[in-house]
Amino acid sequence: MEVVRTITELREHVRNWREKDESVGLVPTMGGLHAGHLSLVEHSRRHANRTITTLFVNPSQFAPHEDFATYPRKEQADHDILAAAGNDLLFAPNVSEIYPDGHSTRVDIQGLSQILEGEFRPNFFTGVATVVTKLLLQALPDVAVFGEKDYQQLCVIKTMARDLDIPVQIIGAKTIREEDGLAMSSRNQYLSVEERKIAPVLYQVMAQVAQNVRGGEQPASQRTWAEAELTKAGFGAVDYVAVRDAQTLDPVRDASRPARVLAAAYIGRTRLIDNVAV
C-alpha cells in the first residue's frame, strides 16, 4: 500500500487507475483506526476496484476548546491496519496541503448544520463539509463511504454532494459496536476504566427510547426519561436526546415514518455521540 501526501500524487494514482477503467472508492478518516473504520474500507472494496483511505485530522472542524491537539495520531499503526485490510492507497496530507495560506472558502449547509450537533458545535459541520468537498474533488471517486455512527454528518454530506452536483455516490455504513453495545470511536480511548463501564448505558438507553417510540410513546416524553437514566448511570451533561425524521432530521411526533434516536452526552470530559434506528 502506497502512502501519498500531496494532491498531485493522489491524482496521479487515480488517473492511472482510470486509464485501466478501474473504479475508485474513498474513505475519509481522522485516523486512530478501529473496526468501524475497517468496515468502511470493506464497503468501499465491495463497491469499487480501488480504495483510497484518507487520514487527516481536520483542524477546521474543532473548536478552540476541543481536542485537536490531543486527538489520537497513530499513523504507523493505521498504515499497517489499512495495508492488511487491502486498502490500495493512503492519502495523509499535511495541514498546509489542504489549507494553504490564503485558503478562504467554506462550505456551509443551511439548516441541517445548525441543529443537534450543530447547536453544540457551531462550526463543526462547516469544517467537515469543507474538507469532505475538497477530498471528493481531489480524488473524484465513484463512491465515498461514511459511517452511520455520525448519522447527522452522513445526512449533511449527502445533502452537500447533491446540492453541489458532486458526481459521487455517498454510501452509509452501519455502526460497529463493542460487545456491550458501545459504538466504536477513536475517542473511547479517553475513557477511564470506570467511565468505560458506564459508557454502554448510552446505547442501552437509546435502544429503549427507540423501542418505547415504536410502542407508541410520545418522542417528547422520552428525553426527560433518557436524561434521568443517563444521569443515574453516572453521565454528566446530556447535550441532547432527540427522536428525528431519519432523512430530514426534523422533529417527529410518532413512529409513522422512519425515525432515528440521536444523542450526545458527556462522561467526565469525554463527549460521546450515538444514534439508533426507531
Q: Provide the binding-site residues for ligand AMP, judged by CB under 6 A.
A: 29-30, 36-37, 39-40, 146-147, 149-150, 173, 175-176, 183-186
List 13, 37, 43, 79, catalytic entry: 37
> What's the closest the beta carbon of residue 21 comes to ligand AMP, in angstroms?
27
Count of other CB atoms within 10 angstroms of residue 65: 6
H or E element, residue 54: strand 50-55
CB 195 within 8 A of CB 267: yes
> What's the closest the beta carbon of residue 278 comes to ligand AMP, in angstroms?
19
Distances (CA, A) of 198 to 32, 35, 117: 22, 21, 22
Nearer to ligand AMP, 35 or 137 (CB): 35
Phi, psi of 264 (to 5 degrees): -140, 130
Nearer to ligand AMP, 117 or 150 (CB): 150
Residue where the block lists cell 422512519:
258
Q: Which of 272, 76, 75, 275 is nearest to 189 (CA)?
A: 272
Strands (E), 138-258: 143-147, 169-173, 238-245
> What's the closest the beta carbon of residue 22 comes to ligand AMP, in angstroms?
23
Helices within 20-62 (DSSP H only): 35-47
> What's the closest the beta carbon of residue 276 comes to ligand AMP, in angstroms?
13
Nearer to ligand AMP, 127 or 219 (CB): 127
Is 37 one of the catalytic residues?
yes
Nearer to ligand AMP, 55 or 222 (CB): 55
Active site residues: 37
